[in-house]
Copies of this chain bind each other. A is one copy, B any other.
């Protein structure tokens, strides 16, 4: 998942970056039979009996990923659950249950925590995903919420990996990535009237129905959720698929709200669309002969914009914008600045 602010010192793991760190740490871990997909995709997949079980977890740390004065406890709980469930959506799976690990100082008000859990509960009810268990621990300061999600792949559906993109594919993305980052800016500035952008930041929706539907379309190849910014997440697809991802700037979806608010920050709305992070929309690649069909049926089935923004090409793994490599990347949790 993306981080609302990365202001860590550039020493230690800061220099490696989040993805360098993950690579370094998981390099020595043993694999195993039954582990159909290990670290490196949106979810792990384990064969258990006749079921392919999807597993993922996402932690949110106070003052790193959220601030109490920007979001109600209900919104924090709701977002933590949404972020975790989004990983199931990105594989095309069905969510089955989740576990909540709550960390907080001993002097935390019970009412605050009840409201946090009410937020989790609100979202999980909506998607019919029960809370199966969890852990509560004391922290020295700040709230920590780590949600592990368990899902399954329907027997007749194949998961969509980051490694599935093929040269020639069209790249599509749902919704308006960049809205959440602009919403965070609006919160920082106290621009409370930017309700659509603020809602994008505080109330992301896991695209579970959309992801499960997309995984049933034969032309849909690679899929990922846009948690760290479109350029960075498409970079994961490029790297794992061994392809070049080519985006056209003019095709990037930009909402009215993004178009009018972004200039007040001195940046173009397309910059937010490319590197915003925390949108939890779905980005995926489609075989060219399936594009028209998938897009038409998606739009008919869901109340959600779908935009084709570029193509997959042969070449060294990279993400290009109008032919140039993108240097403006998404959020890196351990790196300094944005």
Chain B's nearest CB lies how many Å from the CB of A26? Answer: 7
Pick the residue among B63, B106, B114, B334 that contacts A14 (CB under 8 A). B106
Q: Are B55 and A97 in contact (CB under 8 A)?
A: yes
What separation, in Å, do the CA atoms of A3 and B144 have in the docked complex?
17
What separation, in Å, do the CA atoms of A110 and B122 have in the docked complex?
38
What separation, in Å, do the CA atoms of A32 and B150 have in the docked complex?
14
Chain B's nearest CB lies how many Å from the CB of A143? Answer: 11
Q: Please indicate the chain B residues that have their CB under 8 angstroms from the CB of A105 in the complex.
A: 8, 12
Q: Are B18 and A130 in contact (CB under 8 A)?
A: no
- Scan residues 93-148 of chain A and give those whose CB is less than 8 A from a CB of chain B: 96-97, 99, 101-110, 113-114, 117-118, 121, 124-125, 128-142, 144, 146, 148
Q: Please indicate the chain B residues that have their CB under 8 angstroms from the CB of A141 in the complex.
A: 140-141
Interface stretch of the complex, out of A40-48, A239-247, A263-271, A320-328:
A40-48
Q: Interface SS of chain A: helix, strand, loop or mixed? A: mixed
Pick the residue among B51, B65, B336 that contacts A137 (CB under 8 A). B65
Q: Are B21 and A150 in contact (CB under 8 A)?
A: no
What separation, in Å, do the CA atoms of A6 and B106 have in the docked complex?
9
Pick the residue among B16, B34, B65 that contacts A110 (CB under 8 A). B16
- Scan residues 33-75 of chain A and give those whose CB is less than 8 A from a CB of chain B: 34-35, 38-39, 43-44, 46, 48-51, 53, 55-61, 63-65
Interface size class of A (residues with CB under 8 A): 35 or more
Q: Are B136 and A18 in contact (CB under 8 A)?
A: yes
Q: Are B39 and A134 in contact (CB under 8 A)?
A: yes
Given A61-B103, A148-B148, 16 additional A-B pairs, CB 8 A: A13-B110, A13-B113, A25-B114, A26-B117, A28-B114, A30-B121, A32-B129, A44-B97, A48-B152, A53-B150, A57-B146, A59-B101, A59-B146, A101-B148, A138-B334, A141-B141
20 contacts between A and B (CB under 8 A): A3-B138, A10-B106, A11-B107, A12-B105, A13-B110, A13-B113, A16-B110, A28-B121, A29-B124, A32-B97, A35-B97, A35-B130, A39-B133, A49-B51, A56-B133, A56-B135, A60-B137, A61-B103, A61-B139, A136-B333
